[in-house]
Amino acid sequence: MKIRTLIYSACLLATSTLYMSCNRDFPEVKPTDKFEQNILLSDSLVFEAYVVNRYIGARLQDKEGDGTDPGFGRGFEYSMWSSITDESIYNNDDNTWLIQKGQLAPENVGMAGTIWPRSYRSIREVNFALNGLAQLTISEPHRQWLKGELQFIRAFRYHDLIRNYGGVVLMGDRVLELSDNLQNDSLFTRATLKESIDYTVAQLDQAAALLPATNGSNWALGRATKGAALALKARLLLYGASPLYNTNTWAAAADAAQAVIGLNQYSIFQGGYDKMFPATEGNPEIIFARLYTRNANHTHLEIANGPNGYGGWGGNLPLQNLVDDYAMAATGKPITDPTSGYSAANPYVGRDPRFYYTILYNGASYRGSTVETFTPGGKDSKDGTDNWNTSKTGYYLKKFMNDAYPLQNPWGNAGFQPWIYMRYAEVLLNYAEAANEAYGPDVVPAGATLSARAALNLVRARTGVNMPAIAAGTSQSQLRDAVRYERRVELAFEEFRFYDVRRWMIADVTENKPANGITINKVGNTFTYTTKVALDGRSFLKKHYWLPIPRAEILASSNKLKQNEDY
């Protein structure tokens, strides 16, 4: 694009006097950091690189995509999505506390404020590529593969919009320019929630038909496959069947999850729950993940989240709310059950093994030492070094951390673990929930291979977890509770809790509970444990079941874009 063209456009916005001074020729200077459209649409290698780069998005907010541009969601950023739920709080706020405290407003959406603009920017970029595919000199099978990828990426962005805002504006294949008539009301008319889900599901069906079953031996591609499209469809239909959405049936959601199971391509990783994170090549549980390299590392998780006594910054801090929900390993019972085997004097003994792989607690072994959050004198407490980073909850995050990476001075030598967007355990849990709601715990639906209870037990039986199987005779209500427990602990910190409590319409309970932590006092060799409030003022209102659309987007539409209710 010519520099003159850019300046001429800018001059049109100025006064006539300024316009006259701008209306002159300038030397044509071609930028060296981007390709012109004619090159993009005529060079298949450049075009494919463009497609691959649509898996990531633009950085629109501070602390997004540290080290590389953000992908989907908040995975591996400083404040994770978990820290606006009852899983964790972020030690130094990072625009999360206002969400925890129910202070969301269209003028200030905190760390959740970039979903709308980045999603629609990505959708426009995908539409540009889809419209240009026909011009590309390339084999027809490869053209169809790229089309499937683009449809998947666009559908992922719509799925992100839907689960945060409800019904959205469906752009079709349009690529808007500034010269287009922006007074067209259709540009700002939000489809119904059902229309939005139906459109996105149809896109995923088309993508699944075009995408390869696998990426072959090149696992490092990290690109969409048929399984990824079908798994995203299953997730979206599960949401659609849930009470908040109520747009399709539980049977449809179960069928969609069964389609992934029926591929016979994925299985539960049996190398141990702790080895799932960081994920490794050849892991049969991974369906779709973002990969990182030494040239594109993400936030250095170990220093960002590690205990202060180790030189860490104590970022995303697990809440007592989550800790208390880990059942006892031997009995499978919650700690509130007097027959569970739980001891308040030894609260971290005998819990669901996933607790130990997810959370660092007082007494946990870590990097050749022991975590000490007790006072007085604990090295990871306020009495330790770097006490400005002391955990407000008494816990630190362990999940996702790679102890082989350096915690101190990690720059360029850490931040390479993948972020898993979809894995087979989620699919099994999606199926278990939907099949239980549609048919009950032990019915194997026509065309399926598992009952809801059997699918749930596959996740619980993972090597290294081996939680007691859910017994035959369990009622539908009891299995519903078991599924919700399993999602709580199996998928902790993986960006599901925020959406689960909303779609189940229990957020008015879970998100109105205090953000609790623990105070541990040591006298001699005896510890006493006292629950404390780690973050004051936690609050959730009915309107918070959906995010507000940022005010800037409403104003840009001349107030034609309808805001979510009560904002």
Whether 5 has a pLDDT exceeding 70, the answer reads no
The larger pLDDT score, comparing residue 342 to residue 9, is at: 342
pLDDT at residue 497 above 80? Answer: yes
Span 53-72, pLDDT tens digits: 999 998 998 888 777 899 99
**What are the residue ranges spanned by the domains of the chain?**
1-34
Mean pLDDT (the chain, rounded) = 92
Does residue 104 contact residue 563 with C-beta atoms inside 8 Å? no
Structure tokens at 297: 């590392």
| pLDDT at residue number 278 | 83
State what percent of residues in the chain have pLDDT above 90.
83
What is the share, in percent, of the chain residues with pLDDT greater than 70? 92
CA distances from 86 to 244, 262, 301, 397, 493 (A): 19, 34, 20, 14, 10
pLDDT of 4 above 50: no
CB neighbours of 295 closer than 8 A, spacing ≥ 6?
Answer: none
CA–CA separation, 242 and 162 (whole Å) = 13
Section 17-31 average pLDDT: 47
pLDDT reported for residue 11: 27
To the nearest 10°, the Cα dihedral for 320, 324, 329, 330? Answer: 140
pTM of the model: 0.92
Mean pLDDT of 146-152: 98
| Cβ proximity of 392 and 517 under 8 Å | yes
* Helix H or strand E encompassing 339: none
pLDDT surpasses 90 at 179: no
Mean pLDDT over residues 45-53, rounded? Answer: 94
On whether the CB atoms of residues 146 and 177 are closer than 8 A, the answer is no
**DSSP, residue by residue, 521-563:** EEETTEEEEEEEEEETT----GGGGSPPPPHHHHHHTTT-SPP
Half-sphere exposure of 555 (CA within 13 A, CB side): 5
* Cα 498 to Cα 258: distance, rounded to the nearest angstrom: 25
8 Å CB contact between 196 and 170: yes
Q: Evaluate if residue 7 carries a pLDDT over 50.
A: no
* Contact between residue 451 and residue 261 where contact means Cβ atoms under 8 Å apart: no
Angle at 203 between CA 198 and CA 207, to 5 degrees: 145
Report the 10 Å Cβ neighbour count for 239. 23
Residues 449 and 445: their CA atoms lie apart, in Å, by 8
Encode pLDDT of 257-290 as tens digits. Answer: 999 999 999 999 999 999 999 888 889 999 999 9
Q: How far is CA 60 from the centre of its chain?
A: 17
Cis bond leading into 278, ω under 30°?
A: yes
Kindly state the helix (H) or strand (E) to which residue 397 belongs, with its residue range: strand 396-397
Q: Residue 329 — pLDDT band, cuts 50, 70, 90? A: very high
Pick the closest to residue 41 from 134, 103, 140, 179 (CA basis): 134
Whether 217 shows a pLDDT value over 90: the answer reads: no
Predicted confidence (pLDDT) at residue 3 exceeds the cutoff of 90: no
Residue 454 has φ and ψ, to the nearest 5°, of -65, -40
pLDDT value at residue 19: 29
First to last CA, the chain: 41
Is pLDDT of 256 > 60?
A: yes
pLDDT the model gives residue 182: 64
The pLDDT, as a whole number, for residue 35 is: 62
Q: For residues 389 and 407, what is the distance between their CA atoms, to the nearest angstrom?
A: 14
Please report the pLDDT score of residue 295 as a whole number. Answer: 84
Q: Which of 24-38, 246-260, 306-320 has the lowest mean pLDDT?
A: 24-38
pLDDT mean over 533-546: 98
Q: How far is the C-alpha of 44 from the C-alpha of 466, rounded, in Å?
A: 49
Q: In sequence order, what DSSP letters do the residues of 211-224 get, joined into one string?
A: S-S--TT-GGG---
Distance CA 302, CA 509 (A): 32
